[in-house]
Amino acid sequence: MIQQEYRREMDRIELTEGQRARLVRAMVQRNPRPRRFPARALAAAALICAALTTSALALSPALRDSLARALGSFAPYSQAVEGAAAVDQNVEVRVVSAVTDRYRVKLYVEVTDRTGERIVDDQTSLRAWVVRETGEDGLRGRCVEYDPETCTALFELDGNQEGASGTAEELTMRITRIQPRQYHEYTTDTGAMAQALSPDYARAMKLGTGETVLAPGQTPLEIPGLERAALSSMGFLPDGSFHTLFRLPEGAVLEQGGVDGSYMYPELLVNGEPPGGAFETYCFEQDGVPYFGAAFSPVAPGNLAGISFAGVGGEVVLEPGIEGVWEIPFQVENMEALELELTGTAGGASRPARLVLTPLGATITGGYDSGYWGGKSFAVVYEDGSRMDQTAVEAGRMSPEGTCVLGNWTFGELVDLGKAAALELGDWYIPLAGPDAGEARPK
């Protein structure tokens, strides 16, 4: 109750642009080893941040609490972004909050469908990039919440780059595609499919393009766990291939210039392993019904006893993608990062590499011979012995030529670099300070 009353009072505060700027700078300026803030100061910073972000979300107040929950421990370091918006294709995109360091960004973005007819739920994806001083990076995103009253979706977008930006910079976020009503379907309940297998050849037909495909309606089957797709046909063809054909809902969008259309196919196994041959897909409509097919070869009736399905899945798209350009520049001040050369011996082998640890994530780069580290468990150990292990593995890069990204992690909560004492990476322990800083050793 007290917190709600306090928030209502903070909502009434009117700040000048100069006051806002000073508050933002005060919240985001950090030394390489950030100061330790008492709990009372952090709580005050969070409340101030809530007041700022509330004003940015004035057009969709139902999303205020969703933003606060999504920010979580990042809230005291969040920068409210004012006036950063763009409109195209009758869709308004607005950057409302940013948490940034010299290598990584976490952006919160509102997307409002002014027609009220296309973006109708939280099953929407974005194709987005951020341009920084060091170059352009694709953003990974998720829809946090959807407000049906304003047809507004709130997104969290994450990105990282290998090069370091300055402490203050102008970012530009660019979105080129918005895909509404994109529903993920997946199930491992495939026993009925296995039982429906037959050694007999299935019936094929030719499309107007001359392509040979499986004819619909031969082995119709509802598969538990799939809400928007059903098996229509499945079987072998005389050319040595095995096909599946799924019936999709009426109105499902199929191919859209080769990208982002609906698709559905099984994870086929032959004697417990994926078949090593060709994999092709096709789609068509018949009598107003959309279908998506997949062909595996060589898979013949002689393989019948060894065929199984690990799962079935795909995407069902029920609205065409919205193509446009939403380009939004805005200013940020970046938190600092900790950079260390990693040395020492762990697991019996030398591991020379470079660590970049930021409040938002960590990256380890090095030579190809060091191997990929991204599959290892990752945790930050604080001076008091507590651990932060809420991490998500992001894409690495392995190549015999050039520098490799051996590991890349995004953090689920903000890391206080000033209190971080060490990393635990799989079976390795890596001190972050003192004479042995960066020296990897077995735990």
Residue of 282, 286, 250 lying closest to 263 (CA atoms): 282
pLDDT-above-90 percentage for the chain: 74
Can you tell me which residue has the tokens 């969703």? Answer: 66
DSSP 336: P
Q: What was the pLDDT predicted at 19?
A: 39
pLDDT(60) > 80 = no
C-alpha torsion angle, residues 79, 161, 328, 82 (rounded to 10): 0
Q: Are 355 and 438 in contact (CB under 8 A)?
A: yes
Q: What is the CA radius of gyration of the chain?
A: 26
Can you tell me which residue has the tokens 């930021």? Answer: 358
pLDDT digits (tens, 9 = 90+) for 222-258: 999 999 999 999 999 999 999 999 999 999 999 855 5
Mean pLDDT of the region 399-413: 92
Q: Are 182 and 321 in contact (CB under 8 A)?
A: no
pLDDT(408) > 80 = yes
Q: What was the pLDDT predicted at 144?
A: 95
In the chain, what are the domain boundaries?
A: 2-181+322-333, 184-317, 338-442
pLDDT-above-70 percentage for the chain: 84
pLDDT(55) > 60 = no
Mean pLDDT of the region 192-205: 95
Q: What was the pLDDT predicted at 338?
A: 96
pLDDT digits (tens, 9 = 90+) for 100-154: 999 999 999 999 999 999 999 999 999 999 999 999 999 999 999 999 999 999 9
Question: 104-113 and 391-393: which strand pairing?
Answer: unpaired
Q: How confident is the model at residue 443 (pLDDT cuts 50, 70, 90)?
A: confident
pLDDT(402) > 90 = no
Q: How confident is the model at residue 12 (pLDDT cuts 50, 70, 90)?
A: very low
Question: 322-333 and 338-346: which strand pairing?
Answer: unpaired
Q: What was the pLDDT predicted at 311?
A: 97
Q: What was the pLDDT predicted at 345?
A: 66
Mean pLDDT of the chain: 86
- Whole-number Å distance between alpha carbons of 24 and 15: 12
pLDDT digits (tens, 9 = 90+) for 341-364: 988 765 445 557 899 999 999 999
The SS3 call for residue 169 is strand
- Whole-number Å distance between alpha carbons of 369 and 363: 17
Q: What was the pLDDT predicted at 260?
A: 75
pLDDT(431) > 80 = yes
Mean pLDDT of the region 217-221: 97
Q: What was the pLDDT predicted at 371?
A: 87
Q: What was the pLDDT predicted at 42?
A: 41
CB hemisphere CA count around 286 (13 angstroms): 17
Q: 2-181+322-333 has which fold?
A: Immunoglobulin-like (2.60.40)
DSSP string across 350-387: E--EEEEE-SSEEEEEE-GGG---TTS-EEEEETTS-E
Residue of 443, 289, 293 lying closest to 377 (CA atoms): 443
Q: How confident is the model at residue 323 (pLDDT cuts 50, 70, 90)?
A: very high
pLDDT digits (tens, 9 = 90+) for 256-312: 555 679 999 999 999 999 998 999 999 999 999 999 999 999 999 999 999 999 999
Q: What was the pLDDT predicted at 17?
A: 40
Q: What was the pLDDT predicted at 269?
A: 96
pLDDT digits (tens, 9 = 90+) for 299-319: 999 999 999 999 999 999 999
- Whole-number Å distance between alpha carbons of 215 and 291: 10
